[in-house]
């Protein structure tokens, strides 16, 4: 009833089943997919036949690698600003709906989950990761910022891990996702089909997932947590970089690795992300989404988003020319402008 070409939404057994269905594009979200999901979730919320929501990605490579960024950049370049704004507004409204959804919302995550994919997975009640699940919020590397509710979720991770993820775009496997609370359950790859069928059959969600729990082993991020907490508690991005540089000079191997991760990203994006993480720690989910919409409403006015997408996704030379290209040239006033209220254009969530 709410199918689109990009997201198939139907009832199977006791489940409202959503399949993100653009496997050749790593199931990147389109506006059609967002609208189909929203219509389905609205309908299923009050349908007694639907006792749980299940969302999955088609194909083997990705749950969802994010929004259709190239399409948004094309719209911005062509002066179709409202087209891009409409996507982000409706995507953020969908994220907020998922966060407050009254029924179990189970994301079956295998392969890549990044950006917009995180937004339609992380805020539900159950996040089930398979052995190939790979999480990241890599937006600062394309001149964007960690959105889709990252302002609320990342600051609530253990220690300073959330800020580390926001500023570096570091990737996490299933063990790290489980340890950080990004996932609620880790399971073996062979268990996913049985879990899916059990959810459709109406089995108790928690009992089913507990029965298939899998130990993914030690979390690699825990071996660098001390370095992260020591450096990412500083009061500016410049001071974080200085702390990492100092520790790397003293022979701290994790600091050297993190420095390599943090270099080359958009200075403007990193300062936006730093500010949003600090503000988001004290905001409700709805307040965080309104803050993110303020930021995204200004992102098309700059140059880094277009340049980052060109360098990483279009030309793939991975040599972006950021403006400004130094952290010290990004002023507090420049960053504050991204967070200014939008008046009558605020996101209504």
Catalytic residues: 67, 116, 139, 147
R_g of the chain, CA atoms, integer Å: 20
Are 318 and 311 in contact by the 8 Å Cβ rule? The answer is: yes
Q: Output the CA–CA distances (angstroms, integers) from residue 2 to 17, 311, 328, in the order listed.
A: 11, 36, 49
Cβ atoms within 10 Å, residue 97: 17
- What is the residue whose two structure tokens read 């990492």? 244
Are 118 and 135 in contact by the 8 Å Cβ rule? The answer is: yes
Facing residues of 8 across strands? Answer: 19
Cβ atoms within 10 Å, residue 236: 14
Are 38 and 44 in contact by the 8 Å Cβ rule? The answer is: no
Which region holds residue 181: left if phi is over 0, alpha if psi is between -120 and 50, else beta? Answer: left
């Amino acid at each position: 009833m709410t199918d689109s070409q990009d997201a198939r939404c139907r009832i199977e057994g006791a489940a409202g089943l959503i399949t993100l269905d653009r496997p050749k594009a790593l199931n990147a979200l389109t506006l059609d997919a967002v609208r189909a999901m929203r219509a389905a979730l609205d309908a299923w919320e009050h349908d007694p036949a639907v006792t749980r929501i299940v969302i999955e990605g088609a194909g083997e490579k990705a749950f969802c690698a994010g929004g259709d960024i190239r399409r948004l950049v094309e719209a911005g370049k062509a002066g179709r600003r409202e087209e891009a704004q409409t996507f982000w507004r409706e995507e953020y409204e969908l994220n907020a709906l998922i966060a407050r959804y009254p029924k179990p919302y189970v994301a079956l995550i295998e392969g890549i989950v990044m950006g917009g994919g995180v937004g339609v997975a992380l805020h539900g009640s159950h996040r089930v990761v398979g052995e190939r699940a790979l999480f990241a919020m890599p937006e600062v590397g394309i001149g964007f910022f960690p959105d889709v509710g990252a302002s609320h979720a990342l600051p609530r991770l253990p220690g300073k891990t959330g800020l580390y993820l926001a500023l570096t775009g570091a990737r996490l496997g299933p063990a790290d996702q489980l340890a950080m609370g990004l996932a609620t359950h880790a399971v073996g790859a062979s268990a996913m089909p049985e879990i899916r069928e059990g959810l459709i059959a109406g089995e108790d969600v928690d009992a089913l997932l507990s029965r298939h729990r899998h130990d993914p082993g030690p979390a690699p991020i825990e071996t660098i947590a001390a370095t992260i907490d020591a450096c990412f508690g500083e009061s500016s991005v410049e001071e974080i970089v200085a702390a990492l540089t100092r520790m790397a000079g003293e022979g701290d191997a994790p600091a050297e690795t993190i420095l390599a991760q943090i270099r080359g990203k958009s200075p403007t994006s990193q300062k936006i992300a730093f500010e949003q993480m600090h503000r988001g720690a004290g905001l409700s989910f709805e307040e965080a989404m309104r803050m993110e919409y303020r930021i995204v409403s200004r992102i098309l006015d700059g140059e880094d988003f277009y340049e980052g997408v060109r360098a990483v996704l279009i030309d793939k030379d991975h040599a972006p020319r950021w403006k400004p290209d130094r952290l010290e040239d990004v002023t507090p006033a420049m960053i504050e402008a991204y967070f200014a209220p939008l008046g009558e254009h605020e996101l209504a969530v």
